[in-house]
Structure 1
Amino acid sequence: MPRLFLLTIAALLSLAGWTQAQEKPTTESVKPGINDSFLDPDLDVEQWVNRFEVESREVFHAKDEIIERLKLSPGDRIADIGTGTGLFVEPFSKAVGDQGWVYALDIAPKFVERVEKLAEVRKLTNITPVLCGQNDIRLAPGTINVAFICDVYHHFEYPAESLASIHKAMSPGGKLVVIDFNRIPGESRDWTLNHVRAGQEVFREEIEKAGFRFLGEVKVPSFQENYFLQFERR
């Protein structure tokens, strides 16, 4: 039985008894219902592939630029938090090499299943799909040295708890990258203003409060709506 399959089954079995891939929250949601569509048992994966993996989506169009600026090294252990349809899984797998590892995390069971199949079909042997919770990424302490959150941070319903679990799972000096939408009243489109709960300054403050040091914003030439922030785990 392939090692990938064993690791995935072990991860899923360890979650037995939890409902909808989430533990009971201990704080109030900052954006109630924002993840309902992903927790829908009838989620149509292909519908989301057609939505996420298209040139009109800025991070898809800028995928190569993002990967270049992420500067992964062979041996890195990266968590792709909110992996969705697995857009970055294969390039991450190639970047970290045989000595590295990619943990593809999502709260949607069907996305996790898709990534598992994707890894099997493309023979990616350094991938572990993980069904995570809405307030806990469910990785053991020191598991990763890079965390990647792309167009997903604004979906954190319980940011303080989620960030605490990321901090715990990351080795000291590890890198956290957050890519999200610029939310600027009077400039951003209505979809962003209605969907994204806060701007870059608020998100940065939350992340720094969770034990991460801000390293700076990385410029991505083709970005018009998104920003790329880099932090270090203290």
Structure 2
Amino acid sequence: MRGAALTWVLAVLALAASGCSRAPENRSTEPASSEDEPHAQEEINLDLWLERLEVGSRELYSARENVVGAIGISAGDTVADIGAGTGLYSLLFAEAVGPEGRVFAEDIEPLFLDLINRRAEDAGVNNITAVYGRETDVTLPDRVVDFVFIADTYHYFDDREAVMTSILRALKPGGSLIIVDYDLEPGAEKPSEKSHVRFGKAGVISEIEFVGFEFVEEPDVEGLEENYMIRFEKPAS
């Protein structure tokens, strides 16, 4: 675990005192309008984020049960939800792994982590650990995670190689990385509400393979039409 483990422990401890922390300057702090994705400087409004992210018209919400089922999580597994946001999937993963499993809900916005902690407490869930990540490192210990899940977040990473390298370290050998994101059709005009998405599925696969992951499959998930799911593995040796 070496330095990464110490970093993770310190990050989790720092979270307890971070309730009044300012949001990172290059992180979204307000839900997007229909014309622009958020990169505002105003204090985060959790109610508006819940309304934006957990609504039936959003594929990642309406198809959430199918998405979780397609991952193949088992009781006792350890799952990292990277860019956990409001904790929607973290709570679903906590149910899937059961009391013997563990979910790391990682985000770089302390107020989201505070929200996840409160939602877990309200639901009587005690197998979620909120993790305060950094722009270049998810701050998880080495080789502890069975599944890493990144939904609607990969395209926000500024230093994707650094972030994905830290994820590669955190996964156990043979562990799975699941990416769910919006696809861009080659040559098609990009919708205004997806102006922040810089590349499509082929570009994502190429970048992640370059870091050292092996591409495995693209599962067909009922309910996902605008978004794709792709699975990678960390080499076993």
Q: TM-score range by the shorter chain?
A: 0.7 to 0.9
The 2-side partners of 1:110 and 1:129 are apart by 11
The 2-side partners of 1:47 and 1:16 are apart by 24
In structure 1, the residue matched to 2:128 is 127
The 1-side partners of 2:80 and 2:192 are apart by 31
Within a 5 Å distance, the mapping from 1:205-224 to structure 2 comes to 205-224=206-225
Distance 1:132 1:47, change over 3 A: same
Question: Do the aligned residues in 1 keep the contact of 2:23 with 2:29 (CA within 8 Å)?
Answer: no
Over 4 Å off, 4+ runs: 7-10, 14-17, 19-22, 38-41
User: Which runs of 5 or more residues in structure 2 are unaligned?
Assistant: 1-7, 31-38
Question: Do the aligned residues in 1 keep the contact of 2:11 with 2:139 (CA within 8 Å)?
Answer: no
In structure 1, the residue matched to 2:29 is 37
The TM-score, its normalising length taken from structure 1, stands at: 0.85
Question: Do the aligned residues in 2 keep the contact of 1:104 with 1:130 (CA within 8 Å)?
Answer: yes
In structure 1, the residue matched to 2:98 is 97
Deviations 1:12-46 (A, max 9, x none): 338999x9687xxxxxxxxx94x243785710111
In structure 1, the residue matched to 2:51 is 50
What displacement does 1:51 show? 0.2
In structure 1, the residue matched to 2:35 is none
Within a 5 Å distance, the mapping from 1:150-165 to structure 2 comes to 150-165=151-166
Distance 1:120 1:233, change over 3 A: same
In structure 2, the residue matched to 1:179 is 180
Question: Do the aligned residues in 2 keep the contact of 1:208 with 1:214 (CA within 8 Å)?
Answer: yes
The 2-side partners of 1:210 and 1:105 are apart by 20
Question: Is 1:189 aligned to 2:182, yes or no?
Answer: no
Question: Do the aligned residues in 2 keep the contact of 1:137 with 1:165 (CA within 8 Å)?
Answer: yes
Question: Do the aligned residues in 1 keep the contact of 2:23 with 2:43 (CA within 8 Å)?
Answer: no
Deviations 1:151-185 (A, max 9, x none): 11111111000001001111100000000001123
Question: Do the aligned residues in 1 keep the contact of 2:78 with 2:147 (CA within 8 Å)?
Answer: yes
Tell me the C-alpha RMSD between the 2 structures: 2.6
Aligned residues: 216
Deviations 1:65-88 (A, max 9, x none): 101101100111000001100111
What displacement does 1:119 show? 1.0
Question: Do the aligned residues in 2 keep the contact of 1:75 with 1:98 (CA within 8 Å)?
Answer: yes
In structure 2, the residue matched to 1:225 is 226
The 2-side partners of 1:171 and 1:206 are apart by 20
User: Which runs of 5 or more residues in structure 1 are unaligned?
Assistant: 1-6, 23-31
